[in-house]
Chains A and B, each alone.
Chain A
Amino acid sequence: GAGVSQSPSNKVTEKGKDVELRCDPISGHTALYWYRQSLGQGLEFLIYFQGNSAPDKSGLPSDRFSAERTGGSVSTLTIQRTQQEDSAVYLCASSLAYGNTEAFFGQGTRLTVV
């Protein structure tokens, strides 16, 4: 596709339910990032995938959060037993493998836990 695509754009879920957020990166981009942005705040790094290397999971806030990337393309971020503090915008970005290249962001998924 032309850009990074995230779905759904909005998700309202009940506390305690599991949710899956999807990210389709730009074709050919081997690096993929997930960030979390609370209302009007900064970007909190969650996880980073690069090709076939082991992902950098150092930003995942708890073991309720996990992510996978299938076939080096589409990524899914899963939040189990959602809590109200998980409410935020979840942003996905992708880039080429080289560190000097910029990352391109999707429009995000706004998650609301009620």
Chain B
Amino acid sequence: AQSVAQPEDQVNVAEGNPLTVKCTYSVSGNPYLFWYVQYPNRGLQFLLKYITGDNLVKGSYGFEAEFNKSQTSFHLKKPSALVSDSALYFCAVRDKDTGFQKLVFGTGTRLLVSP
């Protein structure tokens, strides 16, 4: 069965500094990988996805993520953090090869960007 690990409950970064939110995954086949963001009292919003091709994926609001197959990781990054980026971030995975389309999420990482 597929699974996702987000090892950090919270990441703190100062505005203007680069940020990284970590995600590792486990699937029996090849993965489809997704990042979502949840602002307070809001639903989840899609940020970006890795399907195939370039390992560096660019998404909304200046975020990007790097797929690393050997490390089974898909870390979310942004070169310069904004206070408005403070939110809860979720990584998710589907197994491309088994035909199971269930979308499994990690436990989430709270990003706090200080002014």
Q: Which residues of A contact B (CB under 8 A)?
A: 31, 33, 35, 40-43, 45, 48, 50, 56, 91, 93, 95, 97, 99-100, 102-108
Judge whether B22 is part of the interface by a CB distance below 8 angstroms.
no
**With contact pairs A40-B88, A100-B49 given, residues A108 and B43 touching in the complex (Cβ less than 8 Å):** yes
List of A residues within 8 angstroms of B90 by Cβ: 42-43
**With contact pairs A43-B90, A106-B43 given, residues A31 and B107 touching in the complex (Cβ less than 8 Å):** no
The residue in A45, A95, A99, A100 that gathers the most chain B C-beta atoms within 10 A of its C-beta is A99
Task: Assess whether B107 is in contact with A48, with CB atoms less than 8 Å apart.
Answer: no
Q: How far is the CB of A26 from chain B (nearest CB, A)?
A: 13
**With contact pairs A91-B44, A107-B43 given, residues A56 and B102 touching in the complex (Cβ less than 8 Å):** yes
List of B residues within 8 angstroms of A108 by Cβ: 43
- 30 interchain pairs, CB-CB under 8 A: A31-B101, A33-B102, A35-B105, A40-B110, A41-B107, A41-B108, A42-B105, A42-B106, A43-B44, A43-B108, A45-B103, A45-B104, A48-B102, A50-B101, A56-B100, A91-B43, A93-B44, A95-B103, A99-B95, A100-B96, A102-B34, A103-B103, A104-B46, A105-B36, A105-B43, A105-B44, A105-B45, A107-B42, A107-B43, A108-B43
Count of chain B residues with a beta carbon within 8 Å of a chain A beta carbon: 25
Interface of B is mostly: strand
The residue in A50, A91, A103, A104 that gathers the most chain B C-beta atoms within 10 A of its C-beta is A103
Task: Assess whether B46 is in contact with A102, with CB atoms less than 8 Å apart.
Answer: yes
A-B pairs, top 6 by smallest CB distance, nearest first, are A42-B107, A43-B105, A105-B44, A100-B51, A105-B43, A102-B46
CA of A50 to CA of B36, assembled, Å: 21
**With contact pairs A42-B108, A43-B90, A108-B43 given, residues A102 and B49 touching in the complex (Cβ less than 8 Å):** yes
List of A residues within 8 angstroms of B96 by Cβ: 99-100
